[in-house]
Each structure stands twice: as structure tokens, then as C-alpha cells.
Structure 1
Amino acid sequence: MASNVLNEKIIPFFQRLSGSRHLVALRDGMTAAVPMIIIGSVFMIVAQFPIQGYQDFMAHTFGSNWATVVQYPTNASFHIMGLVAVAGISYNLAKSYKVDAFSAMVVAIGAFILTIPLRVDKAGAMWVPLQQLDSSGLFIAILVGLFITDLYVWLVHKNLTIKMPSTVPPAVSNSFASLFPGALALILMWIIRMAVEASPMKSIPNIINFVLQEPLSHLNNSLPGAIIVELFICLLWFFGIHGANTVSGVMMPIWLGAMTQNANAMQAGKALPNIVTQQFYDNFVHMGGSGATIGLAFMLAFLSKSKEFKTLGKLVVGPALFNVNEPIIFGMPVVMNYKLLLPFILAPMANVITTYTAMSTGIVAKTMGVMVPWTTPPIISGYLATGHLSGAVLQLVNIVIDGLIYYAFFKSMDRSHLAEEKDEVA
């Protein structure tokens, strides 16, 4: 009975959820901001490479403000995270509806800017605070990107557009077609903003921070919160659903926001406030991919007795070094394989606990806000993410622990496969 409910209700629900147009648009739109963050992170590493001799040499050669100058591109990339996200989300969502994606994106950007309270200097000039365009504005970017684009698409489908003759160039025709739905979308956002400003909250960012961002960030930056998130990722993968993609659609804004706070603290010379960031999962929990399977990949490649596992090991060990483990998940397989469910959950859980404990106690440096690509091999990524050798050492410790967790389960399956192969030969 329970199995039927699982197969007929729960699994199809999560499969539909992970493939829904809004979640896909959210995931792809957020991913659009990642290249800019990586570019900014490179300049941040150049400016603050964690070797004192290098720091002294660069400061002596180029002056005391060289680090500030080098990090101009870091500021230019980190501080447009929300702007890029709202553009990417709106573009991908409108594209899925087969509506002019560029026009919808422009309207969504305008609506996003409309949510931001402007500042006025002493001379009377108005300006947009940059912090509302970066990770601080990610939740607003998500809501605007989804809601305004859906509204825009609905208006277009209702034919509330200005149609131009077929002889008019498409660029001009699309611009006029977006005029009426775009105006209605902006007017609605304007009314919402005026209503919020008349309330005790005073601004839309204050509401988002009070209702969503603060509660979720506190949950995320705790050990129980990190454990719950990781458990959810592993269970989804076990049923063949891309757990990391499904969960990151909701959690990535929080992880990137925590990362940006660490980067800002690093630049200001202050203590790093957050442990659980994007790099916490990418570089310390998911080594070898979801399930922390890098140790399993090496055992398949070098310790297998059965021919099937030896062949599989040659195929999976290379991708595992770059944290790609779909060959293991679907080739071994891990999906719907009760023999591997326990280690597939326990190994990343152990990584969460050891990493959180080591960073919270100060034994290992926290991630310093540098976006290290998730495909960066372990040991290298640990050093780059923390700016300290302790990060690389922690990764090595985690890999050993993961291998020990998988070893007994691997040996049992290897013996079983070897026996089957001998029976076939006999």
C-alpha cells in the first residue's frame, strides 16, 4: 500500500515539480548570474590571494589601494546579481510560453527597479542603492520575474496588444506589442509599491526581508537546517529526481546571499558571518557529486573484483574528480537501489556535520565568498573557497570518511556481482 502511494502519488508529484516551467525558469534564470559571480570571484582571488608574501609584494609594487582597484570588477559583478536573476527568470519563463522573451524581460526589469526605494543625496539627485540589486534583492527578483512575467504573458494571450502591419520590422512590432501589457504590469507594481509605502513596512524590501529572507536564512545557517536540506536532496535523487536542481531552485537565493555577505565581510576585513553558503554544499558536501560518491568512484576503479564494476569504475572515476556522478547514479545504479540508500544519505550527512563543526569552531576557515565552480576538483576547491590550507585538509578528511561509509556496502555488492559472474561462466 505504501509502495503504491509512493509510486503513484509522491514520485510523480516531485517529477512534475522538478520539470515545471516556473521551477525550470527559476533554476535557469538564477544560473545566468553564476558566470558573472565567477568572474568577480577571480578578481577577488587576485586581490586577496591568501599568501602574505604576495600581499606585501603587490601592496609595495602598486600602492596600498591596489586591492580596491583590482576588485572593481568584483563589485560590478556581485552587485548586479538580482538584476541578472530577474532578467534571466523572466526571459526563460516567457520563452517557455512562446511569447517574445526580450520584451517580457525588459518589463520585468522595470518592475524590479520599481520595487526599490530610491535614495536622494543633499544635491537632490536620486540614485539606486547597489545592495538592492545584488543578493539582498534576490527574493524580490524571483517574485517579480515569475509574477510580472506571468501577468505579461496572460495579457498577451488575451490579445491586449497593439498589432502592427506585417510590413513593420519585427523589432518595432514587438516593441509596440509590449506597450499595453507592459504598461499595465508597471502600473500594478506602482500601486503595490504605494500601498506598501503607506503601511508600517514602508518598502517592499522590508516586507520580503521580514517574511521570507530573514527566517529562511536563519534556518539555512544552522546545522539542523543544512541536514534537512541535504536529506531532501538525497531522497529525491534516490527516486530518480535531480535533487540538487530541485532544491537549489528554492535555496540558491539564500546560499548566494550568504556567499555575498561573506564576500563583503572579507573585503571590509570583518569576521565572516556565514557557514552554510553555495560553496559549503558545492565544495565540501557534494564531493564527487550528490551523495558524496567520490570515494565510491575510486573503489569501483581500483578495488573492484567483478568485471562489471571494474569496467564501470574506469568510466566514472574521471567525471567524479570533477563532481559529476550521473554515471554512478544511473550506471551502478543508485536510483531505487535500496542497497546504496543508506550510504548515499550518510556520506553527505557526515560531510555536513564535519564541515559545519570544523568551521563553527574555527578549526577550518569559513568560505570567503569566492564562487569556486562546482566542477573544480576537491583539495583545489577547498583551498580556493576558504583561502586557507585547512579547507583542503577538511576535504581530504571528508573523502576518507565518505570512503569508509561506502566501503562495506561496496564490498557486499562487489562480492555479489563477482559470484553472479562466476555462475554465468560455470
Structure 2
Amino acid sequence: MSENNNKSSFVNDRLVPFFGKIAGSRHLIALRDGMTLAVPMIIIGSVFMIIAQFPIKGYQTFMANTFGSNWATIVQYPTNASFHIMGLIAVIGISYNLAKSYKVDPISASIVSLGAWFLTIPLNTDKAGALWVPLTQLDSAGLFTALLIGLFITDFYVFMVHRNWTIKMPDSVPPAVSNSFAALVPGFVILFLMWLLRLAVEASPMQSIPNVISFVLAKPLGLLSNTLPGALVAEFVVCILWIFGIHGANVVSGVMQPIWLAAMSQNAEALKAGKALPNVVTQQFFDNFVHMGGSGATLGLAFMIAFVAKSAEFKTLGKLVIGPALFNINEPIVFGLPIVMNYRIAVPFILAPLVNVTTTYIAMSTGLVAKTVGVMVPWTTPPIISGYLATMHISGAVLQIVNIVLDGAIYYFFFKALDRDKVKEEKTFAAKEAAGETVEA
């Protein structure tokens, strides 16, 4: 008993505060919230991509005969417009949220960060000598640069503002004007230093700042995240954090979502170009094939609570959890069963999504199931529908069914043990109540 108390004390006093501090990190929150701003635009672009790339030959023939052979390119104009500003949204969103957390004018900070980011982008020259910005630098190719600029430049901007390296205006000046002048000195210092850095890098073999960042960080992290071990580690961390009551998906996605969104964008570009899809592990890989029912792959568990449970308490809970679970919302299960701090259900909560990662990765990498095509299917889309839309192929829906069955099998024996104990508790409670004994709540 003492040993269990010591373990519980260690978890509550050490681990939970530690992970809670990580989850509450202003930089992690800024990354998460900044990248979330891009999601609506990606979903909008994905709708037009589905219209253009819907994988039925008769549909494609009908549309080409009706609207001309170039119809798909025209339909995907909004897709290009939304996907090709991913980096732009990221640098503004991250800088805005980070500056706001420091209580520094977020608009001025995000504008300075945007200018610093554009200073890193290599320009191209056409035959007439005109300069132009390649769109690829504004989307997934420039995303990692945008993330780093959004974080580090904003921190440097805040550093200067907090030390009053600014131009102070009288109180009678409107706030908008005052904030603009306050950004003048920090903005000049930042852009001047970024200009010097660009000149230095252009004189080196790397030629551009995005090339340096890609070589040092983006490519190694991208290669690691697009492997089965990398995906398993990311998912394991998500589940472990949830066991301690911390929203694991928010913590991990704050770090990994930019990489997974970039992989998604690369698949979308390959699809439009008619090339083989390069990436298995994308945002849709996790949203639509691993987290069915929510983190912990709890849809199979929700079905058992609703239809297999014998205890009155779990039967009542089942009526409450099955609806949200179909839309991948599992807080009623996580806190109602509960799963948080319930080490009897922790093993399947961790194991089920890891099995989903493994089956999905193997199925997609071997060609048994189509890879995700870069369509951003909202995570609340029910399974089977989301599997088809994410892969543009019936095999995606079939894989989801297989994963749900496997998840249910993994949870079955653990849940049945909980259910048996709960039935015994209810019988004991009822017997004592019938005998007129005092029953502890």
C-alpha cells in the first residue's frame, strides 16, 4: 500500500507538474495556435481538390467533356491559393500569438516577423529581368523557416521592447500610431541583422537561409517523422500524457504538426502533378487512421461500453459516449470511465493506437492501402467517410474498419475486467443498502 502511495505521489508531485509545464509553454502554445490558423484555409482548398481529383473515371470524363480538358486546373485555383500561403499564415500566426503572450503589441511583432521571413526567401529572375517570389517558398517548402522566424524573431523583438529600445510617443497620440513608432527601432535592428545574415549565407555554398534550415533541421526531422519508429514515438508520447491528464495531442502537435502538414502538402502537390505520393506519415495519417474515436483509439472501447457492458453505471455511460466517439471526441470516456490516472486501462489506451500506427504504416507503405492524398479531412469526420476522403480510395475506409476491430479486441479483456469489478461493486452496494447499512460513497 505504501509503495502504491509513493508511486501515486511521484506521479502527482513530479510527473504531472513537469508535463503540465511543457504543455503550458508559451512557445509550444504559440506554435500550436499559429499553425491552427492555417487549418481552415487548408480545408477549403481540400474541398476544391476533392472536386478536381475525385477518383471515378466516369466523373472525370463527364467533367472534361462538359467544362473542357483544363477544368481540373481551373477548379484547383482555390487549392493553390490556400495551400501556397501556409508559411505566410504560420509566421504571422505564431508571431502574433507569442507576442500576445508577452503582452507586447502582436500586430507590430507579426509584421516585423513577416518582413524578416520575406528577407530569407530567395528571389527568382525571369528572362525580362523581373524578380518574382516562387510560390513553393510560401507553402510547405518555407514552412520550417516560417516557424523559426516566428519564434526567434518575436522573442528578439520582445527583448528589445521590454528594454525600451523604442521610440516613445506622447500619451495624446492614438495607440495605433504609437505602436507603429514603437516598432520602428526593433524592426530596423531585426531587418538589418537578417539582411546581413542573408548576405553571409548567399556567399556560402548553401546559398539561402531556407537551404541551411532544411539541411540542418527540416530534412532530418522530416525523414525521422516519416518512419514507423518516428510515428510510434510521437503516438506513445500522446498517450502517456493523456494518462496523466494532459492533452497529449495538443503537446505533440505543437511540435510535429508543421512537419505533418508539410508532408500533407507534398502529397497534394504530387497528386496534382500525377506523381507517386512521397509520404506515408501525414496529419491525416493520425487524424483519420490512428485516432479513431479520439486519442487512444477509443471508438472500439466506446462500442463496448455502449453495447457490451453489464454494469448499470457503464451502460449509462455508454449512452453518453457513443455519439461523440463517432465524431472522434472522447473526453466523455477519458474523464468519465475514467482513463486519466486509471492504470488498469492505460495499457490498451497506449497499445491500441500504436497498433493502428503499425497497421496503417505497413498497409500504406506496401501499397495495400492508398496513401493520404493531401486532402485535409476535418478530424471530427466519422470513420469510413474520412478514410475514403483522405485516400480517395475505398481501401482507406476498409483499413479504418480493420483498425476499429483490432482496437476493440485490444480493449475487450481490460474493459471486461473493469466491468466485472463494477458489477460486483454495484451488487455489494445494493445488498448493503437493502440491509439498511451505511454505504460509503
Bin for the TM-score computed over the shorter chain: over 0.9
State the one-letter code of the partner of 1:336.
M
The alpha-carbon distance between structure 1 residues 240 and 269, as it changes in their structure 2 partners (threshold 3 A), is same
| Whole-angstrom CA distance in 2 between matches of 1:167 and 1:100 | 18
Q: Does 1:374 align with 2:384?
A: no
Secondary structure of the equivalent of 2:376?
Answer: coil
Q: Does 1:63 align with 2:75?
A: no
- In the other structure, the counterpart of 1:185 is 190
Q: How far is 1:324 from its partner?
A: 0.9
Q: How far is 1:301 from its partner?
A: 1.3
| Whole-angstrom CA distance in 2 between matches of 1:208 and 1:312 | 49
Secondary structure of the equivalent of 1:334?
Answer: coil
Identity %: 73
- In the other structure, the counterpart of 1:141 is 146
Q: Deviations over 1:349-383 (max 9, x none)?
A: 11111111111121111100100011111000000
TM-score (norm 2): 0.94
- In the other structure, the counterpart of 1:81 is 86
The structure 2 residue matched to 1:407, chosen from 403, 412, 425, is 412
| Whole-angstrom CA distance in 1 between matches of 2:318 and 2:113 | 47
**Range that drifts further, 25-34 or 201-210:** 201-210
State the one-letter code of the partner of 1:99.
V
State the one-letter code of the partner of 1:291.
G
- In the other structure, the counterpart of 1:208 is 213
- In the other structure, the counterpart of 1:298 is 303
Q: Deviations over 1:198-222 (max 9, x none)?
A: 2222211111111111111111111
- In the other structure, the counterpart of 1:123 is 128
Q: After the TM superposition, which residues 308-323 of structure 1 pair with which residues of structure 2 at under 5 Å, given as runs?
A: 308-323=313-328
Q: Deviations over 1:179-214 (max 9, x none)?
A: 111111111211222222222222111111111111
Q: How far is 1:167 from its partner?
A: 2.5
Q: Does 1:47 align with 2:58?
A: no
| Whole-angstrom CA distance in 2 between matches of 1:83 and 1:303 | 49
Higher-Rg member (1/2): 2
Unaligned runs of 5+ in 2: 1-5, 432-441
Secondary structure of the equivalent of 1:284?
Answer: helix
- In the other structure, the counterpart of 2:18 is 13
State the one-letter code of the partner of 1:315.
L
- In the other structure, the counterpart of 1:329 is 334
| Whole-angstrom CA distance in 1 between matches of 2:186 and 2:35 | 25
State the one-letter code of the partner of 2:323.
G
| Whole-angstrom CA distance in 1 between matches of 2:348 and 2:396 | 24
TM-score (norm 1): 0.98
Secondary structure of the equivalent of 2:201?
Answer: helix
State the one-letter code of the partner of 1:106.
I
| Whole-angstrom CA distance in 2 between matches of 1:395 and 1:119 | 44
Q: Does 1:175 align with 2:180?
A: yes
The total of aligned residue pairs comes to 426
The structure 1 residue matched to 2:33, chosen from 25, 28, 33, is 28
| Whole-angstrom CA distance in 2 between matches of 1:49 and 1:72 | 16
Q: Does 1:237 align with 2:242?
A: yes
| Whole-angstrom CA distance in 2 between matches of 1:201 and 1:2 | 51
Q: After the TM superposition, which residues 325-404 of structure 1 pair with which residues of structure 2 at under 5 Å, given as runs?
A: 325-404=330-409
| Whole-angstrom CA distance in 1 between matches of 2:204 and 2:16 | 43
Secondary structure of the equivalent of 1:38?
Answer: helix
Unaligned runs of 5+ in 1: none
